[in-house]
């Protein structure tokens, strides 16, 4: 299968699927009916045997519970990662109130997640239809997420899972981590990631970076934006503080929840920030 064929099929789905638009029935406000959630994706490719996937099994990165691509799929040749940027409508709405998530952002997290699963299923069907094996860890019954795994309130492994969309996107060349622990791509940090694993062989992309945090300028804007004071230039991100705040939004908006103030009104929102000093 050609990359162009796969990318056109995924782009068409994202542009035209009703799942990428808020329906009148689910809209939190009448004016949000028809709101588009995601713009067109960035797509990156990595070899299933890329040594970086083995690195992710090391303690302090993800850990031994991380399942490498060939543990998900014996015949895996390629990992394909997508960054789905939120639309300007979603981002602009979440810039307005610095203390509470916008309705648009709540939709993007929940209806957005449902659509991410649709994209995964569509990609798997497409690849299988061409005679290849394919799996998407996010919707695989073996996917597991554990929390909390430690009493250490700043422990990076506080929440952990056996696959990481952000790490897969990093290996696939889409971007590097920010202080807020999102992944900064050339289209920014505000959006969501999905990935799938296939026996189809695609040319891996060259990662245009060497360091895990290369694209983060350490400007501190996400520190100042965070209503939970969960991010610090000295100690990074406290997952428990972040989660407690996000849970507080769920109490009001269940089944929806969210925050994302570290992803909007920051220099990395929609692109790679300029270095502070050059
Ligand atoms: S806001 Fe600044 S410090 Fe925070 S992740 Fe983005 S570039 Fe890095
Ligand atoms: S999602 Fe919200 S609470 Fe969590 S780190 Fe970002 S700004 Fe802070």
The pLDDT value given to residue 104: 98
The pLDDT value given to residue 145: 81
> Ligand 2, closest atom to CA 261?
7
**What distance in Å separates the CA atoms of residue 62 and residue 149, rounded to the nearest whole number?**
12
pLDDT digits (tens, 9 = 90+) for 91-147: 999 999 999 999 999 999 999 999 999 999 999 999 999 999 999 999 999 998 875
For residue 209, what pLDDT band results from cuts at 50, 70 and 90? very high
pLDDT digits (tens, 9 = 90+) for 34-44: 999 999 999 99
Q: Hey, whose CA ends up nearest to atom 6 of ligand 1?
A: 268
Q: Is the pLDDT of residue 6 over 50?
A: yes
For residue 5, what pLDDT band results from cuts at 50, 70 and 90? very high
Of the ranges 55-64, 233-242, 261-270, which is most confident? 261-270
| Pocket of ligand 2 contains residue 262 by CB under 6 Å | yes
Pocket of ligand 2, candidates 106, 108, 226: which has the most ligand atoms within 8 Å of its Cβ, to mutate?
A: 226
Q: Is the pLDDT of residue 266 over 90?
A: yes
Nearest of 171, 181, 277, 164 to residue 232 by alpha carbon: 181
Ligand 1 centroid, distance to 1 Cα (angstroms): 37
For residue 4, what pLDDT band results from cuts at 50, 70 and 90? very high
Q: Is the pLDDT of residue 157 over 60?
A: no
pLDDT digits (tens, 9 = 90+) for 24-34: 999 999 999 99
207 DSSP 8-state letter: P
Pocket of ligand 1, candidates 91, 166, 178: which has the most ligand atoms within 8 Å of its Cβ, to mutate?
A: 178
Ligand 2 centroid, distance to 53 Cα (angstroms): 27
Contacts of 18 (CB under 8 A, 6+ apart): none
The pLDDT value given to residue 276: 76
Q: Pocket residues for ligand 1 (CB within 6 Å)?
A: 178-180, 216-222, 266-268, 273
The pLDDT value given to residue 159: 66
For residue 158, what pLDDT band results from cuts at 50, 70 and 90? low
Nearest of 141, 143, 139, 181 to residue 162 by alpha carbon: 143
CA angle at 180 for the pair 136 and 87, rounded to the nearest 5°: 65
Contacts of 51 (CB under 8 A, 6+ apart): none
| Pocket of ligand 2 contains residue 67 by CB under 6 Å | no
Ligand 2 centroid, distance to 220 Cα (angstroms): 13
**What distance in Å separates the CA atoms of residue 53 and residue 57, rounded to the nearest whole number?**
7
Q: What percent of the chain clears pLDDT 70, i.e. is strictly above it?
A: 95
> Ligand 2, closest atom to CA 260?
1
Locate the DSSP E strands across the chain: 42-47, 78-85, 134-135, 145-146, 160-161, 175-177, 183-185, 191-198, 231-232, 236-237
Ligand 1 centroid, distance to 201 Cα (angstroms): 35
């Amino acid at each position: 299968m050609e990359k162009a064929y796969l990318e056109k099929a995924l782009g068409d789905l994202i542009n035209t699927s009703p799942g990428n638009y808020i329906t009148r029935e689910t809209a939190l406000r009448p004016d949000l009916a028809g709101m588009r959630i995601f713009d067109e994706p960035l797509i990156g490719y990595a070899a299933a045997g890329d040594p970086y996937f083995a690195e992710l099994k090391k303690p302090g990165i993800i850990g031994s519970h991380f399942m490498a691509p060939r543990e998900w799929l014996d015949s895996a040749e390629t990992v394909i990662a997508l960054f789905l940027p939120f639309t300007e409508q979603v981002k602009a709405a979440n810039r307005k109130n610095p203390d509470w998530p916008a309705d648009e952002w709540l939709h993007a997290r929940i209806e957005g997640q449902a659509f991410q699963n649709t994209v995964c299923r569509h990609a798997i069907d497409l690849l299988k239809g061409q005679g290849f094996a394919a799996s998407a860890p996010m919707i695989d019954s073996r996917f597991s997420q554990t929390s909390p795994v430690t009493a250490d309130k700043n422990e990076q492994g506080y929440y952990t899972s056996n696959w990481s969309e952000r790490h897969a996107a990093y290996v696939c060349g889409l971007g590097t981590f920010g202080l807020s622990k999102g992944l900064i791509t050339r289209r920014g940090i505000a959006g969501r990631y999905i990935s799938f694993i296939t026996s189809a062989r695609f040319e891996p992309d060259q990662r245009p970076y060497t360091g895990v945090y290369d694209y983060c300028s350490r400007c501190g804007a996400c520190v100042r934006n965070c209503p939970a004071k969960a991010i610090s230039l000295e100690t990074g991100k406290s997952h428990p503080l972040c989660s407690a705040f996000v849970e507080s939004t769920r109490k009001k908006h269940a089944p929806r929840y969210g925050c994302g103030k570290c992803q909007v009104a920051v220099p990395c929102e929609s692109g790679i920030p300029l270095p502070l000093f050059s």
